[in-house]
């Protein structure tokens, strides 16, 4: 799996980092945009559930999860 952030939609609010418990956030992206934490274990069910919650709560719907 892979977290994908649409940089054209991301406003850099960083809510995703808190909700995903560090699986993603602006400190991993460029120009103040969110991106996947390279150390995020997307094979862990709990991590994936947290990422899905971050996707649902993103105010600009900039995040998706690819298999």
**pLDDT tens-digit readout, 18-59:** 999 999 999 999 999 999 999 999 999 999 999 999 999 999
Q: What domains, with CATH codes, occur in the chain?
A: 2-66 (3.30.70.20)
> pTM surpassing 0.85?
yes
pLDDT at 1: 93
pLDDT at 31: 95
Extract long-range pairs of 25-34: CB within 8 Å, 24+ residues apart.
Answer: 29/5, 31/7, 33/5, 33/7, 34/5, 34/10, 34/62, 34/63
């Amino acid at each position: 799996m892979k977290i994908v952030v649409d940089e054209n939609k991301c406003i850099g609010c960083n809510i995703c980092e808190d909700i995903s418990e560090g699986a993603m956030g602006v400190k991993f992206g460029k120009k103040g945009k969110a991106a996947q934490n390279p150390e995020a274990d997307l094979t862990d069910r709990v991590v994936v559930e947290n990422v899905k919650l971050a996707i649902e709560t993103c105010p600009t719907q900039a995040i998706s999860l690819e298999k």
